[in-house]
Structure 1
Amino acid sequence: MRAPDFYLDTTDSRDVVLKVATRGRQILRNPIANRGTAFTLAERELLDLSGLLPSRVITIEEQLRRTYAQYSRSPSPLAKFIYLAQLRDRNEVLFYRLLSENIEELLPIIYTPTIGEAIERFSHEYVGTRGLFLSIDRPDLIEQSLRNYVPDPDEIDLVVVTDSEGILGIGDQGIGGIQIANGKLSVYTAAAGIHPRRAIPIVLDVGTDNLGLLNSDLYLGEQHARVRGEAYDDFIDAFVIAITRQFPNAMLHWEDFGAGNAHRILQRYADSICTFNDDIQGTAAVVLAAVLAAVRLTGVPMSQHRVLIYGAGTAGVGIADIIREAMAHDGLPAEQSYDQFYAFNSRGLIVDDSAGIRDFQRPYARSRAEVDEWDVANPARISLVETVRAAKPTILIGTSAQPGTFTAEVVQAMAEGCERPIIMPLSNPTSRSEAHPNDLLEWTDGHALIATGSPYGTIRHGEVYHTIAQANNALIFPGLGLGVSVVRATRVSNEMIYAAAAALAGLVNEYRPGASLLPSMNDLRLVSATVAMAVAKTAEEQGLARTPLNNPINDIYQRMWKPEYPRLEVVNRDE
């Protein structure tokens, strides 16, 4: 029986073996096999590479210096993104080595915010990309397409899928959403050591309502309006059935689905398969970690805090749900905890007789009888500052993408009601942030406890240097995926999400004046390992683990792949 041209054994991430059956230039075209000028002279002779590379053999460290210099010379963030994508498709190990050693610098390029421009420009800048493209117009090809991508079901731990309707802050981007799936998987690998060959990025091409794309001759997706209703649901069902049949050990990660579908899809499958929505659960977990650290500083029990969610969409309601779970851990009954929340949509404060309330928002609606007692200008559209004055929230969270809405009037009204207001303007990018942390510190005389969606670094107020926490999902989802894969969890439970958030919060020393409420992005490997440990242990305690933890620290560590050239084993083609 003929051996495959390349076979990578990734079952032990500490001793990765690459079996090579092909020879010559074909090796240099394969990103996982190619190591370019790092091939030794003996390897070049064995693999028929003699004369195909410059004479000198150099180390991966020397290659790293050259690639970093080339990256640095790229003239714009998008050019840097394209350079890194081409490096990944040429030499995968070198790409991940560069990323892992410069994670804080490169993360805004391979992930938010630069990836937004790369998604918008996908069809215009197309030079080939990895990933799987599944069309609603050809549902009969789903299973064959999965087999075409990877024939061995045991090789896959993770599937990241998007339908591109709710991409970041830029909305419907059609087939370009494949880039967000690739970006997520790059972070999974750099932060948690998920081997890149054990994961699949997928875009579900269901059409687009973006008229700019539909009218572009260069657009590469299906050129019709976005399919909705029963046909859409049937396609999602067919996709889930095919994924769970072909990759029974994989976690299915939903990414950037529209608000109308994200909660509905998660609720439909959460109890039957191993699945996770990063926009709902990942965002919620990282925000909860920052809230837990801030609450410790206030000295006020979690169950006594009042929370205002400004922007109760997919992410906002997900945050509210997990904070309610934290309140339950603090002894507050689940139904009673709804009374601690005030939620806003585009029409203002959500009241039980408001128009346009989505099903997932309704539990957070305030009663009309309650708000009728407030002093407001227009009872049909109660403003943010009116709500702050009446409700006296202690935690203010922004997921609205409405810049500047946390005004001095709003923040000062909040500060009048509590000594250490917890304020989190989470909308990305910075141009959409509800407030700048410098203003929040100024308006609260340095008392605000702050986390943001964008990176702001360190800000001086008076004699104190405040390190502003960035509530980046990369602090949660890589470790969650690693923990799930180590024990081959059958589901992702709410308790596992909560355990991930609590583990992240446990890494924070918030008592130093001005300290960040979250760990640094430079510590992502440590963070991911810690989160993975908590997730895996919780899965085992709940009876959701198919593989037991024998030595938890070692089990986690051994699965975290390091970007090093694998040991080569040269085999004959007919073995």
Structure 2
Amino acid sequence: MKSTAAILNNPFLNKGTAFTQAERQSLGLVGTLPSHVQTLDEQAKQAYAQFQSKPNDLEKRIFLMNLFNENRTLFFRLMDDHVVEFMPIVYDPTVADSIEEYSHLFTDPQNAAFISVDDPDNVEAALKNAADGRDIRLVVVTDAEGILGMGDWGVNGVDIAVGKLMVYTAAAGIDPAQVLPVSIDAGTNNATLLADPLYLGNHHKRVTGDQYYDVIDRFVTAEQKLFPESLLHWEDFGRSNAQVILDKYKDKIATFNDDIQGTGMVVLAGILGALNISKEDIKDQKFVTFGAGTAGMGIANQILDELKRAGLSEDEARKHFYAVDKQGLLFSDTPDLTAAQEPFTRDRAEFDNADELTTLAAVVKTVHPTVLIGTSTQPGTFTEAIVKDMAAHTERPIIFPLSNPTKLAEATAADLIKWTDGKALIATGIPAGDVDYKGTTYHIGQGNNALMYPGLGFGLIAAKAKVLNGETLSAACHALGGIVDTTQPGAAVLPPVSQLTTFSQKLAEIVAQSVLDQKLNKEPIADAKQAVADMKWVPEYKSLD
């Protein structure tokens, strides 16, 4: 029998005041808790009142994280009841404040594994110790070099992995005892962290090259050895490493990079939803991506794959893209291109004014895009002039200012509606309220990866997928884009976060079916829908006596 302390301090077993009298007798808990036995409902009501009493979002997040550290079932019951309210607290945008203060606020490792580039011989031991005998089915790993809108935050970025896994459980229902957040501490180039004596990570600049990739390889080898049925999710790696790592492992194991594929999938789903409203064909669109980092190029790759599935050749499909970064339009002779950017460059000979295409305004004026996607983290760059220029050349401009948090957004939904006289089809990177304009209420979709990755990941795990391929990615995008209600004026191009649990379940079933149809499952599975249902965890107390 586990000791009293071991049970009360184990967040996967702890019920707090909800331990029954019989359990208190059999588990040696008599006298360690107040006499009254609460129900989970009573605990949830009590905890929500405590949450509401906190003065700001960071304090609310600290409260929820403490609850998470003490009692996973109660935490997820509470999140289940208040998913729309809690999502921006446990993840974007409040997680940004938590990351900045992580080393100063640290109280608990939250069952994460911490791998140091300076200690490569203990990679397997770190994973094994953090898992503590649990049956791990999902690993989210980050080195936190490229946190969207924040940059390099070293070991503090482990909060990203923890938050991502919370959303997996809340949205799709993966058992929180079967997940593992992992931090790969390769150092940091953040001067503020390096100068901070309280910073908990390695106090040296980032390790790169062979030494870095050796640690990544050791990690993947150990992860697959210890958790052979797991899905490996990469999160917030830097633009020089993210695509390289994904390309190395994607055809060998069940893995995906959320910044590359997840972001691309949600944006493609939003585009498909927008085209369902406008009744246009994806093959007729011109795409300008503003911000050619990991997310921007991941989006381009996902759309490219869809154009090829729609019947275009590789060369034909690439002609639909214009990648714009801080230098302007990316050309084949632009210096210092990343591996992800190179396939999306243009030739200078295509343009009479190539030397002038150094700004987004010049590119939009020249190419007349029908779709404008922002992952630039440059606030206000989708200006009234640019948007009106775009709208003058396309009936229903598709405009997605996706940078977050709010202060980094390329434009607001309200301005885009006004500047296009209600014609724009919009998704934002942060939650946006309805926009009332000339008698119509416009519902604004959020291009939030949480709309996609929980259902995608859960379906892959339930189907015991060997790999994730383009066929399955496309099936998931069409499923999410197809949820749009095209009959309503002002309809959103993506479903709302309030329906997250419902459509995550549907997505998981479609993903699992795609795996089975392609015979990519490791073990025989008779029914995709049943496999998803059988794996779903619900936040209810189980008997321990």
TM-score (norm 1): 0.92
Contact preservation (8 Å) 2:91, 2:164: yes
1:91 CA drift (Å): 1.1
**Equivalent AA in structure 2 for residue 173 of structure 1:** W
Q: Structure 2: 5+ residue runs without aligned partners?
A: none
C-alpha distance in 2 between matches for 1:221 and 1:460 = 47
C-alpha distance in 1 between matches for 2:487 and 2:267 = 18
1:565 aligns with 2:541: yes
Contact preservation (8 Å) 2:357, 2:363: no
Look up the match of 1:532: 508
1:465 aligns with 2:447: no
C-alpha distance in 2 between matches for 1:140 and 1:369 = 52
C-alpha distance in 1 between matches for 2:9 and 2:224 = 31
SS at match of 1:259: coil
C-alpha distance in 2 between matches for 1:293 and 1:343 = 22
Contact preservation (8 Å) 1:303, 1:328: no
Structure 1 residues 402 and 79 mapped into 2: Cα distance closer, same or farther (>3 Å)? same
Which of 177, 182, 196 aligns to 1:202? It is 182
For each residue in 1:315-359, what CA deviation from the matched residue of structure 2 results, as whole angstroms up to 9, or x when unmatched? 111111111122222222222100011110110011222222222
Contact preservation (8 Å) 1:160, 1:181: yes
1:510 aligns with 2:491: no
C-alpha distance in 2 between matches for 1:150 and 1:283 = 28
Look up the match of 1:11: none
SS at match of 1:225: coil
For each residue in 1:360-388, what CA deviation from the matched residue of structure 2 results, as whole angstroms up to 9, or x when unmatched? 111211111112x24x7xx1653222221
1:124 CA drift (Å): 0.5
**Equivalent AA in structure 2 for residue 307 of structure 1:** F
SS at match of 2:532: helix
C-alpha distance in 1 between matches for 2:227 and 2:3 = 31
Which of 315, 334, 351 aligns to 1:335? It is 315
C-alpha distance in 1 between matches for 2:487 and 2:332 = 40
SS at match of 1:159: strand
Percent identity over the alignment is 45
**Equivalent AA in structure 2 for residue 111 of structure 1:** Y
Contact preservation (8 Å) 1:317, 1:360: yes
Look up the match of 2:118: 137
Look up the match of 2:35: 55
1:312 aligns with 2:292: yes
Q: How many residues align?
A: 544
**Equivalent AA in structure 2 for residue 292 of structure 1:** L
Which of 377, 382, 397 aligns to 1:401? It is 377
Look up the match of 1:6: none
Which of 151, 159, 182 aligns to 2:162? It is 182
Which of 121, 125, 149 aligns to 2:101? It is 121
C-alpha distance in 1 between matches for 2:5 and 2:231 = 36
Contact preservation (8 Å) 2:124, 2:222: yes
Look up the match of 2:417: 441
SS at match of 1:396: strand
1:411 CA drift (Å): 0.6
Look up the match of 2:131: 150
Contact preservation (8 Å) 1:301, 1:330: no
1:479 aligns with 2:418: no
C-alpha distance in 2 between matches for 1:334 and 1:542 = 23
For each residue in 1:164-183, what CA deviation from the matched residue of structure 2 results, as whole angstroms up to 9, or x when unmatched? 10122111111111111100
SS at match of 1:518: coil
C-alpha distance in 1 between matches for 2:524 and 2:502 = 22
Look up the match of 2:280: 300
Look up the match of 2:407: 431
Structure 1 residues 32 and 151 mapped into 2: Cα distance closer, same or farther (>3 Å)? closer
1:151 CA drift (Å): 5.2
Look up the match of 1:350: 330
- CA-atom RMSD in angstroms: 1.3
Look up the match of 1:18: none
C-alpha distance in 2 between matches for 1:175 and 1:501 = 32
Which of 153, 174, 195 aligns to 1:173? It is 153
C-alpha distance in 1 between matches for 2:528 and 2:6 = 40
C-alpha distance in 2 between matches for 1:145 and 1:105 = 34
Contact preservation (8 Å) 2:80, 2:170: yes
Contact preservation (8 Å) 2:463, 2:528: no
C-alpha distance in 2 between matches for 1:457 and 1:513 = 16
For each residue in 1:118-157, what CA deviation from the matched residue of structure 2 results, as whole angstroms up to 9, or x when unmatched? 111111111112201011111101112222123557x111
1:389 CA drift (Å): 1.9
**Equivalent AA in structure 2 for residue 551 of structure 1:** D
Which of 88, 94, 99 aligns to 2:79? It is 99
TM-score (norm 2): 0.97
1:274 CA drift (Å): 1.3
For each residue in 1:215-249, what CA deviation from the matched residue of structure 2 results, as whole angstroms up to 9, or x when unmatched? 11111111111111111111111111111122111
Look up the match of 2:222: 242
Q: Structure 1: 5+ residue runs without aligned partners?
A: 1-20, 571-575
Look up the match of 1:323: 303
Which of 29, 39, 55 aligns to 1:75? It is 55
1:554 CA drift (Å): 2.3
Contact preservation (8 Å) 1:194, 1:559: yes
Look up the match of 2:144: 164
C-alpha distance in 1 between matches for 2:90 and 2:493 = 24
Contact preservation (8 Å) 1:134, 1:205: yes
Look up the match of 1:12: none
Contact preservation (8 Å) 2:463, 2:531: no
| More divergent stretch after superposition (114-123 vs 26-35) | 26-35
C-alpha distance in 2 between matches for 1:478 and 1:99 = 15
Look up the match of 1:555: 531
1:20-31 equivalences under 5 Å are: 21-31=1-11
Look up the match of 2:198: 218
1:210 CA drift (Å): 1.0
For each residue in 1:545-571, what CA deviation from the matched residue of structure 2 results, as whole angstroms up to 9, or x when unmatched? 113442332221221100001122x4x
C-alpha distance in 1 between matches for 2:409 and 2:6 = 48
**Larger relative contact order (CA 8 Å, sep ≥ 6):** 1
1:210-289 equivalences under 5 Å are: 210-289=190-269
SS at match of 1:260: coil
C-alpha distance in 2 between matches for 1:499 and 1:549 = 19
SS at match of 2:392: helix
Contact preservation (8 Å) 2:239, 2:338: no
1:23 CA drift (Å): 4.3
**Equivalent AA in structure 2 for residue 242 of structure 1:** A
C-alpha distance in 2 between matches for 1:178 and 1:534 = 30
